[in-house]
Amino acid sequence: MRLVIALGGNALLRRGEAMTAENQRENVRIACEQIAKVAPGNELVIAHGNGPQVGLLALQGNAYDPSNPYPLDVLGAETEGMIGYMIEQELGNLLPFEVPFATILTQVEVDCGDPAFKKPTKPIGPVYSKEDAERLAAEKGWSIAPDGDKFRRVVASPRPQRIFEIRPVKWLLEKGSVVICAGGGGIPTMYENGKLRGVEAVIDKDLCSALLAEQLNSDLLVIATDVDAAYIDWGKPTQKAIAQAHPDELERLGFAAGSMGPKVQAACEFARNTGNVAVIGSLANIEAIVQGKSGTRISTAEPGLSYR
């Protein structure tokens, strides 16, 4: 099969975990141990989130010069290289030496008229208490929003329109390479007066991964996060894990825009547009997800919805 595996940024740096290189590498190692099990006989494309990582780089840049922050497209490019390097190294230590790897800096076009620019929703960076978040918002001009019982900075998240590097990704796959691309949803860019430029935004990783998987004719899209499935009544005594769902049924349930919502939207769009299967599940269960034994499977092949 041709697999697109999208690793969540919050799975690579877990909620409340110190944002150190050591912690991130350990989480990458956990993911790669799973990915290595499904690599034999399959073509692999790995995408990843970068919300915590971009937020950390933004804070580091702010410590250097608060009046002249690095733009988010540049920080996105930096995280693509950093995370891609870790994935290449950790997965390369597990797969046969002859397996080639390539990390592709991926520019993704967005629409300058996208309504997302007027309503920031995409969380980046660490979580804060309400008091700290409000103070930082006042000091730095940030938009903030609740994230569970904490708060995070939110930025514009326009829809991905076009992946500029899709052709070299295909060429590399045809040569047997494992490709790491579209990190953090890709580097947001748009045309202005005929010239391509970066945009102060963060593209949703899951929507970009769905577009990537569709354009690559992927057999399976795996959206790996820090929970083992999509749930109804999350965090309540009545919570239940969804095992299988038709896109129409899943979308009717409603999911939080800042967490599971984009994952469900991306999975549903991929399933509808391709007729293939998307799965939402735990980063630590990737092998079982590919085997059809774990996660929430979204497909147009079966009606209705069932629970685990």
- Domain hosting residue 98, numbered range: 1-111+158-305
Same domain, 146 and 198: no
Same domain, 251 and 192: yes
The pLDDT of residue 228 is above 70: yes
Same domain, 297 and 215: yes
User: Using one digit for the tens of pLDDT, what is the confidence trace for 62-114?
Assistant: 788 876 778 899 999 999 999 999 999 999 999 999 999 999 999 999 999 99
Residue 161's contacts (CB-CB under 8 Å, 6 or more residues apart) are 108, 109, 110, 111
Q: What average pLDDT does the chain have? A: 92
pLDDT reported for residue 32:
94
Same domain, 126 and 64: no
pLDDT reported for residue 226:
83
Least Cα distance to 210 among 186, 234, 189 occurs for 186
Same domain, 178 and 278: yes
Q: Calculate the CA dihedral of residues 40, 41, 43, 47 and round it to 10 degrees.
A: -30
Share of the chain above pLDDT 70, in %: 99
Same domain, 268 and 149: no
Residues catalogued as catalytic: 9-10, 122, 205, 263
153 alpha carbon, distance to own chain's centre: 17
Q: What are phi and psi of 99, to 5 degrees?
A: -75, 120
Same domain, 92 and 204: yes
> With bands split at pLDDT 50, 70 and 90, how would you rate the model's confidence at 125?
confident
Average pLDDT of the residues in 228-247: 94
User: Using one digit for the tens of pLDDT, what is the confidence trace for 168-204?
Assistant: 999 999 999 999 999 999 999 999 999 999 998 999 9
Same domain, 24 and 146: no
> With bands split at pLDDT 50, 70 and 90, how would you rate the model's confidence at 13?
confident
> With bands split at pLDDT 50, 70 and 90, how would you rate the model's confidence at 219?
very high
Q: Which residue has the higher pLDDT, 223 or 123?
A: 223
Same domain, 84 and 233: yes
Same domain, 9 and 138: no
Distance CA 267, CA 254 (A): 14
pLDDT reported for residue 257:
74
- Longest Cα–Cα distance in the chain: 55
Q: How many domains does the chain have?
A: 2
Distance CA 245, CA 263 (A): 14
Residue 253's contacts (CB-CB under 8 Å, 6 or more residues apart) are 232
The pLDDT of residue 10 is above 70: no
Same domain, 83 and 212: yes
Q: Calculate the CA dihedral of residues 131, 19, 282, 34 and round it to 10 degrees.
A: 180
pLDDT reported for residue 178:
98
Tell me the HSE value of 53 on the side-chain side, using a 13 A CA sphere.
28
The pLDDT of residue 17 is above 90: no
The pLDDT of residue 208 is above 80: yes
pLDDT reported for residue 127:
81
pTM value surpassing 0.85: yes
Instruction: List, as one string, the DSSP characters of 239-269.
Output: -EEEEEE-HHHHHHH---TTTHHHHHHHHHH
Read off the CATH number of the domain in which 74 is found: 3.40.1160.10
Share of the chain above pLDDT 90, in %: 69
The pLDDT of residue 144 is above 70: yes
Same domain, 145 and 180: no
